[in-house]
Chain A
Amino acid sequence: MSVRVGVLVFPGSNCEQDVVWAVEHLGAQAELLWHGDGSVSGVDAVVVPGGFAHGDYLRPGAIARFSPVMEAVTEFARGGGPVVGICNGFQVLTEAGLLPGALQKNAGLKFLCAPAVLEVVTTRSVLTGDATVGQRLSVPVNHFEGNYTCDDRTLASLRDDDCIVLRYVDNPNGSVDDIAGICNREGNVVGLMPHPERAVDELLGSADGRVLLGSLLSAAGTSVTA
């Protein structure tokens, strides 16, 4: 049986179909999970996609954490299930307390929409298990609030616990320590600003996102058989 990936849909999400397409392109099944439903329907992995959940009212991600589905996602994550938040999904995961820190406005004061070169920092996360440390990947970014920040203690523990997953080679947004993506201590919850689902075929300009989403599918498959 192929791996089933649940993709959350909030009012204002706008990258969910890209994630569905990318997941299916890589040979897995994808299904949309409405934010108002209090279940993740027994999927093997959850992706929180990009967009503007609840219109980014108050702050990006601030309202999304009250959606019923987030309780199910939190429980799924606590049980070791793979959860990846992309862009606005990363903001949702920090606001929901599943990942530390916050995303502030880009240091360059501009909305950014461009390819970014990332370096894989660790392979112990569900998003990088099939990659190699030091591997460089070209994956697009598309955000205004992607400047990762946290206090010094949190940054030190991210480093000590090997929770920095991806770094920008040429930091586009001012993120502390060039952070493009982080994971929780267990490595099963990952948040990143770049969009791997937009880089899964050479036709899109890069297929470097395949190793990331492929890693997620591998991790989801492992948790299925485990």
Chain B
Amino acid sequence: MTFSIHVEVRLRPGIADPQGATIERALPTLGFDGVSGVSVGKSIRFEVEGTDEASVRAQVDDLCDRFLTNPVIEEAVVTIEQLEQATS
């Protein structure tokens, strides 16, 4: 089975996010008032072959921990979706 993976890499709370802060400060100059909590992260997508969602999730969590994020400053939010089987 093929699973579609989406990893959102976010900065941990308290970690400096100058891009988010700059965007938030710029918005009022365009007339967008009342926007707060802007944060900038990364979005990483890929596909994984596996037998079931639980084992795929374990593998992706490990991959995020060891490579896609630096756990000192970042955290990952993983979304897994099973791709539809091709029917002949």
Contacts and interface: CB of A to CB of B under 8 A. Distances in A.
Residues of A contacting B: mostly: loop
B59 interface: no
A13 B74 CA distance: 25
- The 7 tightest CB contacts between A and B, nearest first, are A109-B18, A102-B72, A105-B16, A102-B73, A104-B73, A105-B18, A104-B15
A37 B67 CA distance: 22
25 contacts: A58-B67, A58-B68, A59-B70, A62-B67, A62-B70, A94-B72, A95-B70, A101-B72, A102-B70, A102-B72, A102-B73, A104-B15, A104-B16, A105-B16, A105-B17, A106-B18, A109-B16, A109-B18, A110-B18, A147-B16, A149-B72, A149-B73, A150-B72, A151-B72, A174-B16
Interface of B: 11, 15-18, 21-22, 67-68, 70, 72-74
A22 B33 CA distance: 52
A101 B16 CA distance: 15
Most A Cβ at <10 Å: residue of B15, B17, B72, B74: B72
Contacts of A95: 70
Interface string A74-102: 00000000000000000000110000011
Contacts of B70: 59, 62, 95, 102
A107 interface: yes
Contact of B16 (A62, A107, A150): A107
Given A102-B70, A102-B72, 4 more contacts: A62-B67, A105-B18, A109-B22, A149-B72
